[in-house]
Amino acid sequence: MRKEKELKAFLDKQYKIYNQKSFIENDPISVPHTYSKKQDIEISGFWTAILSWGQRVTIINKSKQLMEFMGQSPHDFILNHKEKDRIHFLTFKHRTFNSIDTLYFLEWLQWYYRKNDSLENAFLLEQKNESDFDMKLALGNFHKFFFSLDDYPIRTKKHISNTLKNSSAKRLNMFLRWMVRKDSKGVDFGIWDRIPLSKLHIPLDVHVHKIALQLRLTKRKQADWKTVVEITNNLKKLDPKDPAKYDYALFGLGVLGKDAILY
């Protein structure tokens, strides 16, 4: 890794460039930004994050389609819909996410929200306190919890990453960044306060991984949990309180195709 002061100055500058309101419109985070109610933000944000692979335009359009099926009131729909109201979802498909997966997500979300006020609780299982919060355990436990209902479809398990099997959990880490981070720019929501900001991990997609390799934040070419931890730990040297903020810098540089080596 290059000299920390030099690298921090570069990434702080890039973070400020991309962490702006203008980032929202063309990013999947625009979907939960449609809502103001906490549970609507959680549900739309969670589902949008899970669908976030492929072209961003398609991700946004598909996520909006789901919200339309819910009458633009995801929390109310999840709580109160009947089985007959799921007929519209039988046509839903995004890449390998199909109607079978969609129906299970509806089933689990309804079961969960009829017992819980916030999805944050599902990421705090077996966590004793904030100082000892373990993200690998949190995401691994969420995976087990999500598939705790009887007769869950085996095929759907691939759509919720399992860090206990060394998955990078890109989409879940992105969702947690949306829910936990809070600053004056208002891109991330910051509506959860029991998961420590310092414990967030970098969402590792191909763009972030490419730039992280260029900047020597990692030497690992496998897109797995070990690589996520290595990158995040190196970013913590630059900002121990908020390492995930650099997702904006790495993702922005990667998407725009700039050569980070030249900084």
Q: What is the pLDDT of residues 91-139, one digit of tens each?
A: 999 999 999 999 999 999 999 999 999 999 999 998 878 778 999 999 9
> What separation, in Å, do the N-terminal and C-terminal C-alpha atoms of the chain show?
13
Question: What per-residue confidence (pLDDT) applies to 223?
Answer: 97
How does pLDDT run across 36-62, given as a tens digit for each residue? 999 999 999 999 999 999 999 999 999
Token readout for 64 is 């909006």
pLDDT tens for residues 115-124? Answer: 999 999 999 9
Measured distance CA(168)–CA(139) in Å, rounded? 10
Residue 62 CA neighbour count, 13 Å, CB half: 23
Q: Which domain holds residue 94?
A: 4-262
- Spatial contact of 177 and 200, defined as CB atoms under 8 Å apart: yes
Closest to 42 in 3D by CA, of 24, 67, 68, 19: 67
Give the count of domains, the chain.
Answer: 1
Confidence at residue 146, expressed as pLDDT on a 0 to 100 scale: 98
pTM value is 0.95
